[in-house]
Chain A
Amino acid sequence: MSMKLSTRQVDGVTIVDCSGRITLGEGSVTIRDTVRELLSKGNKKIVLNLGEVNYIDSSGIGELVSAYTTTKNQGGELKLLNLTKKVHDLLQITKLYTVFDVKDDEAAAVKSFK
């Protein structure tokens, strides 16, 4: 199953709902492009909702890191929402869980932006 993305606005925060797989060649590029496009339009408060992401590989992890650093470098904030157990465990193993701001409640995630 390939990656599907859709964006919506909630109180000035852009929620990117992701579903499917974030792997090499099918989805990684889409996340990168989507985040860059959002930033170029001035949307600097971004939440990646990964609740429907059932698989991620090392390339996908790299893309999440890329999205995070690109956003940060442009003065924005990117947070992760609703991690599945598999993605959560993978971020723990790679020690990225503490790097990302991870939320499990959308309303709280939206409120957490300054």
Chain B
Amino acid sequence: MEQLVSYTLDSTLETVDHAEEKATRIAQEMGFGEDEVMQISMAVREGAVNAVLHGNAYAPDKKVVLAFERTPDGLVITIRDQGKGIDLGGIPNPLAPENLLKTSGRGIFLMRSFMDEVEIRPSKTGTEIKLIKHVHGASGGGKEGSL
């Protein structure tokens, strides 16, 4: 894999699957273990779902930019949409007892569980999510998960 690869994708469900497939392939090529590959691919899938559904809302004129960067420390994945910008303050804790039986709202939580670092930068012209996984699994393969 080159140091940086970037894809501009439509706001469709196919993009979600493609993003997951690319993440899986790149993580495997970089030598991550099976569990870590699964964590990375799931985190990217959740990020892509956020971008396509909640960010761009399937708008045909809006794109999702997905980038994979190989760094000395690991893999940095950036997912950027062209939506109105996510309201981070409005996201409830999915582990709170009153939210356990909600049918949505777990995507960002899962990203944070599976990756070593997650940065979310909302703006009026879109949201950028940066997902970082360290090469040597400094956190033991995920903060909370063991998939």
Contacts and interface: CB of A to CB of B under 8 A. Distances in A.
B49 A94 contact: no
A24 B103 CA distance: 12
Interface of A is mostly: helix
A96 B109 CA distance: 14
Interface string B58-81: 000000000000000000000000
Contact of B113 (A25, A59, A68, A93): A93
Given A57-B42, A86-B38, A94-B94, A24 B13 contact: yes
Given A57-B46, A69-B101, A99-B100, A62 B13 contact: no
A58 B101 contact: no
Interface residues of A, number: 22
29 contacts: A23-B45, A24-B49, A25-B13, A25-B16, A57-B45, A57-B49, A58-B106, A58-B110, A59-B49, A59-B104, A61-B106, A62-B106, A63-B103, A65-B102, A65-B103, A66-B103, A68-B101, A69-B101, A85-B147, A86-B147, A89-B147, A93-B113, A94-B95, A94-B106, A94-B109, A94-B110, A95-B95, A99-B100, A99-B101
Interface in B111-147: 113, 144-147
Name the 5 nearest CB pairs between A and B, nearest first.
Answer: A62-B103, A58-B106, A25-B13, A58-B107, A66-B103
Contacts of A66: 103
Contacts of B16: 24-25
Contacts of B103: 62-63, 65-66
A39 interface: no
Interface string B14-43: 001000000000000000000000100010
Contacts of A23: 45
Size range of the chain B interface in the assembly: 20 to 34
A35 B38 CA distance: 29
Which of A58, A59, A68 has the largest count of B CB atoms less than 10 A from its CB?
Answer: A58
Interface string A29-71: 0000000000000000000000000000111011101101100
Contacts of A90: 145, 147
A43 B20 CA distance: 37
Contacts of B53: 24
B81 to A, nearest CB: 16
